[in-house]
Amino acid sequence: MKFVLITIISLLISSSWAVDRTWWKYATMYEVFLKSFKDSNGDGIGDLKGINSKLDYFVDIGVDTVWVTPFYPSAGADGGYDITDFYGIDPTYGTMADFEQLLREMKRRGLNFIMDLVINHSSDEHDWFQKSINKIDKYTDYYIWADPKGYDENKNPIPPNDWPSIFNFYKKSSSWTWNEKRRQFYFHQFGVKQPDFNLRNDELKKDLKAIMKFWLDKGVTSFRVDATPFFMEDPLLRDDDFEEQLTQIAAGNKNGFSHRLNHPDTYTFLNEFYLFLRQYDRINKKERQSVMMAEAYGDIKILMNYFGVGKMPVVHFPFNFQLTRLRQYFDAQQMTDYLNIWLKNIPEGAASNWALGNHDQGRIFNRFSKEYNYILLTLVSMLPGTSIIYYGEEMTQEFLDFTPERKKDLWVERDQFRLPMQWDDSLNAGFTSAEKPWVPLHPGYWHTNVEAQKVQQNSSLNYYKDLTSIRKTEVSKFGDMEFYTISKWVLAFTRTYHQSTYVIVLNLGMESSLVDLHSSMSNLPTTLLVAAASPNSGYKKRQKFSTVSSGDNFSVLRPHSSVVLSTEEELR
């Protein structure tokens, strides 16, 4: 008996540890655009102390993982992604002591911290780049340098090839800039102040790993790896034939530029860093696995390569931007097919993930009806895998296209979806005590804000809290999923684990619809209880929901609304 008891306890401990190791497979992740989240010192710009002051908010809404955009010292050309020091904290955002205090407070609350790892490029003001200009070893080849293809009639150097800068893509501005001192061109996928690293350089890779170790030692949980498709380019620097590439993109070929995007060498490079993380975990006996999440773009076949090529792991997952690209209302079958593009292609054993927006992708909530946004919150929360939302999406915060003189983004117009977080209806929405925040607030902050939605029974914020509560159940974490087309516009899917099931029902249409779940799912009880209901659904938690349609016993779902259903036992 004693042996059996010890064995059971050992199995329970082992099982718990194993689940914890794969925490990221079912994490509820929240992206904080640092500059816009909470200002603590009255300068109109969000900072680390501001995040620290709002940690209980993450706990309250059910978030367990916080991804914070860059806080490294920066030249300010690209929202913090042009880094001048990979080991520091930009004074705009605070000090290293502030950062360490933030990590301690997050750990105390059981929150994971995800850091941006920006290793495609640095700022041109970084010490490494200045040494590379001067050909000081070991930095001579830390960046991508090339001789001119030739000289024009005015004796001006001609760029090595026809590759345009991503930030001035349609203007065909070159991704090559001449450096008079070194007498060569340097390559920059993005802005001229963001020279690309030569990631084939072994000494550079050692330095990049040292940067990762520095932050891991501080207590960072994992990394969101920025701009991974741009890591490697054709070493022969062959032309891309710009006009042909435009034709391919217009025809639906989203693989991008064959010589400079998602190059096969990218996967080998990422595998090396993946293995470095695994080794770090082993040496430090970390209970929670350190994770690499890739910002990747391309068609579905390209994205699946980021899970692993052959038996070579690449990253833990590439971000899934499928929901961010929704541009039209789908009926039930169309939505099923659209979601299955991802679900049917991910490798066996890999974890899915879903995102609605981010600091580059924009906010989806201006594209559809206000009510339809509840459906999007339902999908990002109840589909299997990691759920990722952008700050403010829990209360359906919208973007705003404001006057040009207030825009700060130097290269592309993204400020309109980086507006300050709307905390309350006080001056500047409780974001800052400054006269003005760094960019304008949305004028609707007086009614769309955290404090207002907290006390509204039927609010987006409280609905999101119900969804994240369900996400903590074993059914949501580990359950299988199956889609059901109930009618042309009503889509349902189930999450099932052992004997427990949640039924998620979405009315994607513009009209109220009778919902007869038994027509497609005959094994259901005739009545289920509402575990979560979108504010516009007409239902409340614990209300009965008939799964059959006969006589006076039927259920109707309003347009663009959703409910999550369960049995009494599951609600307990």
Q: Which member of 116, 226, 240, 398 is catalytic? A: 226
Contact 71, 93 (CB under 8 A): yes
Q: Tokens for 88, please give them.
A: 């520091």
Question: Which of 204, 270, 266, 263 shows the shortest CA–CA distance to 238?
Answer: 263
Measured CA to CA, the distance from residue 385 to residue 27 in angstroms comes to 8
- Axis crossing angle, helix 202-218 with helix 265-284, rounded to the nearest 10: 40
What CA–CA distances, in Å, run from 85 to 89, 137, 273, 330, 359?
A: 8, 19, 20, 46, 22
274: phi then psi, degrees, rounded to nearest 5: -60, -45
Q: What is the CA radius of gyration of the chain?
A: 25
Neighbours of 110 (CB within 10 A): 8
Encode burial over 350-374: b for 16+ CB neighbours within 10 A, e otherwise: bbbbbbbbbbbbbbbbeebeebbbb
Here the contacts of 434-441 (C-beta below 8 Å, separation 24 or greater) are 434/39, 434/42, 434/43, 434/44, 435/44, 436/44, 437/36, 437/39, 437/44, 437/45, 438/35, 438/36, 438/44, 438/45, 438/408, 439/36, 439/402, 439/406, 439/407, 439/408, 439/415, 440/400, 440/402, 440/406
Say if residue 424 is exposed, middle or buried (CB neighbours under 10 Å; 0-12, 13-18, 19+).
middle
- Max CA separation in the chain (angstroms): 92
Q: What is the residue-wise DSSP string for 196-245?
A: BB-TT-HHHHHHHHHHHHHHHHHT--EEEETTGGGS---TT-----HHHH
Question: Which of 302, 308, 232 shows the shortest CA–CA distance to 271?
Answer: 308
Verify whether residue 241 is a known catalytic residue: no
Q: Which member of 295, 393, 415, 516 is catalytic? A: 295
Task: Say which residues have a Cβ less than 8 Å from residue 330's Cβ, sequence separation at least 6.
Answer: 338, 508
First to last CA, the chain: 32
Q: What is the residue-wise DSSP string for 110-162?
A: T-EEEEEE--SB--TTSHHHHHHHTT-TTSTTSB-EE--SEE-TT-PEEPSS-
225 beta partners:
117, 294
Neighbours of 552 (CB within 10 A): 5
565 beta partners:
503, 530
Residue 561 Rama label (left phi>0; alpha psi -120 to 50; beta):
beta
Measured CA to CA, the distance from residue 262 to residue 257 in angstroms comes to 9
Verify whether residue 226 is a known catalytic residue: yes
Active site positions, annotated: 226, 295
